[in-house]
Chains A and B, each alone.
Chain A
């Protein structure tokens, strides 16, 4: 039964959405379709109700509402508004009865009576307009017997007025309904009323030239309401959804682009900043992890796709990787001297390689130097050391001394200072300790904080040792 109803619903919808010209044609076909339905349905009461419902069926657009309002129906059993709706429904029915043909009058009147009885009798039909959707399948049944009885030719002329009557009713009733039943039905159902009412009002205009101004106004009102509701819904949807897809959807939906554009831009900016901040924080987090040196990093990172970028998981991962690499390249740029102006990975890489090679060559050269110098240690080294380090321009001298020896001049800020401080602290100490006490010396010196003193002591010890050896 339900499937049949749905099928009939579909048929009726298709029919109703067509212009009135074709309605006459299709009315011929209607009987065939509805004949089957006729035989299927059993209860006469249902048929009558369905006929009355036919009008209200025009208002609704689809099966979805059919199901939704079913729920609403179950909910609003004892709703006082239902009585209002029934009252409202009463009036259109009366109108219909007035405008309808003689043939239809008895039917309607007959249909009306059972409706009222039904309204009171059945709790489910507390909201007649909504309830009607239940038996929407049967709505087209009542007209069929009428038309069939009358025949095709009389049927055609009869068709426009009933349609007009129906169509006239349709815009008014839904408007009333929409105004009265907003709370009950909810925004979803009402929004769906919007386009249908527009179409219905259009039909009304087509059928009757200027007699439906009221219907037009009401239709416009209804049009405005659902449109506003639609916009409200989009706004509501945009706030929770922060993805770009929803923004694009909003862009499509929104007619007035200014305010929406601004909102979208804000959204995008927020997203971008959020994403940047998140990526930065994530980068920092990853760096901290790597700094800790632990291998068990958390590879599960939440990344958001920026506007205008692919949202494929592979591309996202690639982007994250590229950002990581670019960050590290920037770091290296700061390390390597003279690479601030260089842009580009390849050139930067070459520079880094050159720098590393130069440093390694320096180490080799210095080791050679030490190899030649170390065997020639003498006690004069201490004095030389102290002299050099105590000089005012100790740093400069060291720098100059190292200039020809080493390659690129490196900043020597800390070491000379440390040496200076250490020397000042330990000028008097010239311990001639044996090698066995070296370790203890180092340990005693280390906690003091003058770490470089150990170096100097070692040097002095070496000098001292070498002396007796030599």
Chain B
């Protein structure tokens, strides 16, 4: 299948991805709703302080990303990396957080090492100004979860899928946010 065909195919059945994401996201939203303590006074609409809102938004953001990663599943490298990262960050909160931190560090160093090695190899092989391509590719690696340990070709593929997933996320969240005035 050609790339556009592939995209179209996935777009024709984006319902699956989107619906999955929507399901999970709303589930997590409900959970968050449950977890947030009800405001003491019903009259006050904006009970939460900016800090609370900030924490709330962070949780919602995490919820969105985790739901998206779970919706994608193990099919994509970035989703796997993201799920692992979230798992480890969750474990951090537990008493084994130092172990998790260690794991994370090790993984990060491994990834960075691989990424550096790969990056240096790529820099040597690639044409054009090394500084520019360096920064571009490195930044992309930073943006895409698990992108540091990827080949450039694989990285570009992952970015394409990641971009599509981000787009669906934004759409769903915007619609939900728009539902409420």
Interface set of A (CB-CB < 8 Å, partner B): 284, 287-288, 290-291, 293, 318, 321, 324-325, 327-332, 334-336, 345-346, 349-350, 352-353, 355-357, 359-360, 362-364, 366-377, 381, 384-385, 388, 398, 401-402, 405-406, 410, 412, 414-416, 418-419, 435, 438, 442, 446, 451-452, 454-455, 458-459, 462, 466, 469-470
Contacts and interface: CB of A to CB of B under 8 A. Distances in A.
B57 interface: yes
A452 B22 contact: yes
Given A362-B170, A384-B181, A335 B139 contact: no
Nearest to A357: B143
B20 to A, nearest CB: 9
B26 A290 contact: no
Nearest to B26: A458
B178 A402 contact: yes
Nearest to B156: A328
Can you list the 10 inter-chain pairs with the closest CB atoms, starting with the nearest?
A371-B56, A349-B136, A328-B156, A451-B19, A367-B60, A371-B57, A366-B173, A331-B3, A359-B166, A293-B75
B170 A406 contact: yes
Interface residues of B, number: 76
Contacts of A336: 163
A366 B177 contact: yes
Nearest to B14: A414
B19 A369 contact: no
Given A331-B4, A388-B178, 5 more contacts: A287-B6, A335-B163, A363-B64, A371-B56, A454-B23
Given A373-B180, A469-B38, A332 B159 contact: yes
A353 B136 contact: yes
Chain B interface mostly helix, strand, loop or mixed? helix
9 contacts: A353-B136, A356-B163, A359-B163, A364-B57, A370-B173, A373-B177, A375-B36, A388-B179, A442-B27
Contacts of A288: 1
Nearest to A381: B180
Contact of B4 (A334, A442, A458): A334
A284 B136 contact: no
B169 A345 contact: no
Contact of B23 (A330, A418, A451): A451
A366 to B, nearest CB: 4
Contacts of A329: 156
Contact of A291 (B6, B169, B178): B6
A377 B180 contact: yes
A446 B19 CA distance: 9
Contact of A410 (B14, B58, B171): B171
Contact of B143 (A328, A330, A356, A455): A356
Contact of B179 (A287, A330, A381, A442): A381
B53 A374 contact: no
Given A345-B128, A410-B167, A321 B153 contact: yes
B157 A328 contact: yes
A470 B177 contact: no
Contacts of A454: 22-23, 26
Interface in B100-153: 125, 128-129, 132-133, 136-137, 139-140, 143-144, 152-153
Contact of A435 (B30, B54, B128): B30
Contacts of B64: 363, 367
Contacts of B15: 414, 418, 451
Interface in B1-59: 1-4, 6-7, 14-15, 18-19, 22-23, 26-27, 29-30, 32-34, 36, 38-39, 42, 45-48, 53-54, 56-59
